[in-house]
Every structure is written in structure tokens, then in C-alpha cells.
Amino acid sequence: MSDRVAIVTGGARGIGAATARKLAEDGMAVAVVDLDEGSCAETVKAIEAAGGKAIAVGADVSKAEQVTAAVERVAAELGPPTVLVNNAGVLRDNLLFKMTDDDWETVMAVHLRGAFLFSRAVQKHMVDAGFGRIVSMSSTSALGNRGQANYATAKAGLQGLTKTLAIELGKFGVTANAVAPGFIMTDMTQSTAKRVGVDWDAFVKNAVSQIPVGRGGRPEDVANTVSFLVSEGAGFVSGQVIYVAGGPRA
């Protein structure tokens, strides 16, 4: 994969940062995309310190003109991107009766419109290269989760997008898959613990008690799965949803 260029959105921290580091370790040049270019510095520094190549790109994945500019910059500075990981995400959890229009729109914009815009912007580079790998970050919440009408809908929507991209782009050597993590220990899950007023250690203990492998997920668990799905050897795996949850369900 040494001549491949990858884009990882939401790469400043958590699962995105671990994925960016892993793809760089696999030999790809990586564009680390996040809302604020400065926040990507740590991920880029870690990749460079390990001998890899990366650039930081600031873009809001939900804004078409910023996505177009980001992809153009990546193509100019690193080469045509043929690997895309749609990972950027936000939570706006609330029970339905308290969920605001903004809670709904924000989650749809970042997860769904973001993945659509980036996939549309990179597909021509993939088609031209006759090779492409798109991985979108779904979630076990796609199966339904209390307080997450917006997030569960968006994560289920990403699975539909993935299957459609797999059908449309397959003949050009492009695969599309979704990874659906369960409980992964990141800032996002820490913010949930804080919001519901549960101490982090107790929150982890409760989550782990329901996970068959008996531990919490790490960003690297997800990164390793993405690494397989974007590899040359995974060319016959497309339109799938891989649950990375330490067991068969959330």
C-alpha cells in the first residue's frame, strides 16, 4: 500500500487518530482531516515520528465547499486519494421528547452528509485509479439505542450508503464497507459518562459487564479492522458491516 493516499476524517483524536496512525504504519500517506487543522497536529506528529507521511487538513465534513477544497488539497500535496475513512462524528443524545431540531440536523449533517460529500468528492480519483476503498464508521447504535434517535438513524443510514456505494462503484475496483464499533473508550464515550453523571470507571465497568470478550474496546481495535478492509487483499469484501464490539451485538 506504499503508493496509496488515505483520508481519515475526524482524525484528531480517538478512533480516527488510531486509524490514521495504523494506515500510515501500513505504508499510506495520510491526510488527517478534522474541524480544526491545529487539532490534527498530534496525530501528524505521531505518524512522522514513526517514519510515516501525513498532513493536517482543517475541514467541516458537512460543508460541501470545504470538502471539495480538502480533497483538492490532498490530491495536490499527497497525490490522488484512493482510501477514505468516513469517521468524523458527534453526539447530540436526548430522549425523543427532548430532542431539538438542531440535535437532529447536526447529527445528520456530520455523519450522513459528511460521508456522502467525502465519498462523492473522492470517487473520481478512485475510478481514475481503478482502485478505491471506502470505510464508514457506523455503530452498534444502528440497531437502536435509547436516547439516540438521531445517532441511530444516521448510523443505520451509513450502512445503506455503504451498500449502495458497493453496488455502484464495484466495477471500478472500489469497495465500500462499514465498521460498527460497540463500546470504545474515547473522549466520545467519556462525554456520555459525564452527561449521564456516572463516574468513568463505573461506566466502563458496567459496559464491560455486557461485553463477551470481557474488556472495553480500544481505538486500535477499530483501526486494525479498517486496516484489513482497506488492504489490497480485501478486494472481494464489499457492502459489509463489520461489528467490532467484543461480541455479536451491542
Which of residues 129 and 165 has its CB atom nearest to ligand NAP in the complex?
Answer: 165
Exposure b/e, 169-187, CB count within 10 A at least 16 = b: beeeebbbbbbbbbbbbbe
Q: DSSP per residue over the chain, as a string?
A: -TT-EEEEETTTSHHHHHHHHHHHHTT-EEEEEESSGGGGHHHHHHHHHTT--EEEEE--TT-HHHHHHHHHHHHHHT----EEEE-------B-GGG--HHHHHHHIIIIIIHHHHHHHHHHHHHHHHT-EEEEEE--GGGG--TTBHHHHHHHHHHHHHHHHHHHHHGGGTEEEEEEEE-SB-SHHHHHHHHHTT--HHHHHHHHHTT-TTSS-B-HHHHHHHHHHHTSGGGTT--S-EEEESSSS--
| Shortest distance in whole angstroms from residue 111 CB to ligand NAP | 6
Is 151 noted as a catalytic residue in this protein?
A: yes
C-beta of 109 vs 127, nearer to ligand NAP: 109
Nearer to ligand NAP, 36 or 77 (CB): 36
Q: Which of 118, 151, 183, 243 is catalytic?
A: 151
Q: How far is the CB of 89 from ligand NAP (least distance, A)?
A: 2
CB-closest chain residue to ligand NAP: 14
Note the residues at the interface with ligand NAP (CB under 6 A).
Answer: 9-10, 12-16, 34-36, 39, 60-62, 87-90, 110, 137, 139, 181, 183-184, 186-189
Q: Give least dist CB 81 to ligand NAP, A.
A: 16
Would you say 26 or 93 has its CB closer to ligand NAP?
Answer: 93
Grid coordinates given for 8: 481519515
Report the nearest approach of ligand NAP to the CB of residue 173 (Å): 26
Closest approach of ligand NAP to the CB of residue 40, in Å: 8
Pick between residue 28 and residue 61 the one whose CB is nearest to ligand NAP. 61
* Active site positions, annotated: 151
